[in-house]
Amino acid sequence: MRGLDHREVETIRGKVLLPSGDAEEMCISYTSTILKISRTCGEAEEMPRKTLIVPGGIDIHTHVRGAQLSYKETIETASAEAAYGGVTAFFDMPNTIPKIDSPSRVDDRLREFEGRSLIDYGIYSGVPRSVEHVEAIENKPVAGFKIYPEDLEEENSDVIQRVYRSSKLKILHSESPKALAVQRSIRVASTWMELAPLYMARGRIHVTHITSYTAILRALSQGFTTDVTPHHLLLDTESGCMDKVNPPFRGPVERSLLWKALDKVSCVASDHAPHTLKEKMQPYDHCPPGIAAVSFTVPFIYTLAYRGIISFRRALELVSLNPARILGLDGVGVLKPGYRANITIIKFDEWRYMTRFSKTVHTPLNGFRLSATVYRTIVGGETVFSEGDIHGRYPGVNMLDRASR
């Protein structure tokens, strides 16, 4: 803990999604942590009709940008967009400029986040250049290592083998290095390129933005955890630069199979990857891949639950409980006394999704009809988003630094 919590106790009352998946009328009292969940209470703020109090969303895969890429997105704008989408913690990939792949750059990145994020956060390191750097980074409060296709070009190097042996989580972009060198049409059709790295990976592996049903089954058979993105569930093909993304869309057959796998994957992640409109307006062969969608995931998943496509228990697993388990986070992921007061309040209303606070306002998901919106987002007991507006004073902490929590 960061010291004694002198804030006044706040209490809200409404329908609460319990760890069992049941929703009951309850009261939640909290400061920075949840103090009490009970069926009766004294004075409390009543939540509106058609709302549901749920654990805060956890996004295991985002590109927050900042540093020399601040013209695309900053920690402030990314965390505001995340809060708007009910995300109370996000985890940042290392492919910034400069790349986060050494102990000193890890330290610099963590300092950059301090006092700038509306929500809780964590960072990954890239694969370092030496075994000594792997061992130094292991002792820092990072979520793990990100393994990109280009890192697999030297599969037998001492460094990548040491990363595999690390007790830290390894986030694997499972595509063969050959995928980076072939024509995009070949890459789209070659699901074997997603399968190949799975046979070489070992240890504590999480396979991210997986796009084929076969790869999901293979990953699960090896004891790996997995995630899919909303855009790979919703889009078939790339019609232009706006929906160009890596790994690419695999067509309608693979997309339909991803829906079949929604009861098998561990979680859903946004792979939030903002770019400027100018960059996305370049010719197709030159425009950067990526979709900004950090605010879409939680409303989308609770829309599926509201419409009866998945259970509310499964929604809780996909966006809160399982991400916390994969990352090894204690005290978040469900609503329980003693847990951090990271709370999202969903309101069930029909609306069309739009980005709001990100620097990226154009995405292929804009205009998508949803049945769930975010009424309020609470991080460490502080309201950071409510009824359309951003609030708070950047209360986010590094979820891997126990001293800050």
Q: 């999704």: which residue's tokens?
A: 353
> Structure tokens of 34?
């949840």
Q: Which residues pair with 26 in a beta bridge?
A: 14
* DSSP-derived secondary structure letter, 265: S
Phi, psi at 370, each rounded to 5°: -125, 155
Cβ atoms of 329 and 393 within 8 Å: the answer is no
Say which of 22, 108, 271, 285 is annotated catalytic: 271
Amino acid letter, 211? T
Beta-strand runs (E) in 294-368: 343-352
User: Residue 14: beta bridge partners?
Assistant: 26
Catalytic, 158? Answer: no
Distance CA 179, CA 194 (A): 9
Of the candidates 374, 334, 378, the residue with the CA atom closest to the CA atom of residue 11: 378
Kindly report the number of other CB atoms within 10 A of residue 386's CB atom.
Answer: 16
Q: Are 344 and 372 in contact (CB under 8 A)?
A: no
Q: Is 374 helix (H, G, I), strand (E, B) or coil?
A: strand
Structure tokens given for 110: 């963590």
Q: Are 54 and 320 in contact (CB under 8 A)?
A: yes
Q: In angstroms, how far is CA 153 from the centroid of its own chain?
A: 27
203: left (phi over 0), alpha (psi -120 to 50) or beta: left
**E strand or H helix that includes residue 104:** helix 103-113
Structure tokens at 60: 């295991």
Q: How far apart are alpha carbons 402 and 405 in whole angstroms? A: 5
How far is residue 296's CA from residue 53's CA, in Å, rounded to a whole number?
Answer: 18
Buried b / exposed e along 82-108 (16+ C-beta atoms within 10 A): bbbbbbbbbbbbbbbeeebbbbebbee
Active site residues: 271
